[in-house]
Amino acid sequence: MIRKPAPYKTFYQLIIALFFLFAFSPKTTLAGDVLFQLNERGLTLLSENQFKLGPFSLFFSPWLYTEQKATSFGLKEAGLDLAIGRFHLTVGRQLQSFGPGRYAFPILNPLGEGLTAEGLDQLSYSFATKKLNYKKIYAWVPATDFRLLLGQRATYDLGPLTFGFTETALARENIPGFYYLPLPFIPVGLYQAIAEHCLDLPEADQALNLLAQFDLTLRLWSGMQIYAGYLIDSQPFPYLQDGSWQLPA
């Protein structure tokens, strides 16, 4: 069982310390941008910074919003990435957007909007080949109780066609431990089906809020593409129970 995570204060203090360490290292490659937005409400500033030292990359994007009577600030993204060839292991706060559809997975939308939108605190890994791209995430969702988002996205390119599979599962605290296995491509929905219908585990009952999607993108020419997707909500298919097929409620 995974316990409720400790506060992130110490981790982000470490990120800030690494920020200064990377910034003043003579072997560090630096890239950065400063964005601002001014309107009748106030001024918003966003500083996007990335430092690369060997196989490590540090990204750090604080924001500041000020108006007449108040000033607020926060972190849009911040974390550390380790690259080994085409494999990446990343820990920290990141914005995630899975799939080409704009509205298919609103749970992965940033927290907030505009320049002050913030990502989710997460641990993720990804890898790529010439045609295949894959990413798996474990993200903590701000809530009054423990909520963990398990997500994965895979795409495979075949010339003008790209096939994609996306899955997100919002999990409660006491789900079976094998749901957290970091194996690529295996749907969490399969773990849920095994726990419910093969192992009869009581903790699997209503353990997940599951979404999945198969999608296909056809690129006709530059700037023109056709996208189709099939969204799966929880359990859309018949399943076997007590020797007979049952339809989901």
Is 88 in the same domain as 119?
no
Backbone angles phi and psi of 15, in degrees to 5: -60, -40
**If we measure between CA atoms, which residue out of 168, 156, 127 comes closest to residue 217?**
156
Average pLDDT taken over every residue of the chain: 81
The pLDDT-based confidence of 172 (bands split at 50, 70, 90) is confident
Q: How far is CA 152 from CA 41, 113, 114, in A?
A: 38, 24, 25
Is 68 in the same domain as 138?
no
* Angle, CA 25 vertex, CA 21 and CA 28 arms, to 5°: 105
Looking at residue 131, its pLDDT comes to 96
**If we measure between CA atoms, which residue out of 242, 8, 248 comes closest to residue 123?**
8
Mean pLDDT of the region 27-41: 81
Is 86 in the same domain as 137?
no
pLDDT at 238 over 90: no
Is 80 in the same domain as 174?
no
For the entire predicted model, the pTM comes to 0.80
DSSP state of 102: S
Is 89 in the same domain as 129?
no
Is 140 in the same domain as 208?
yes
Would you say residue 108 lies in a domain?
A: no
Domain that holds residue 27: 1-94
Looking at residue 31, its pLDDT comes to 79
pLDDT at 185 over 80: yes
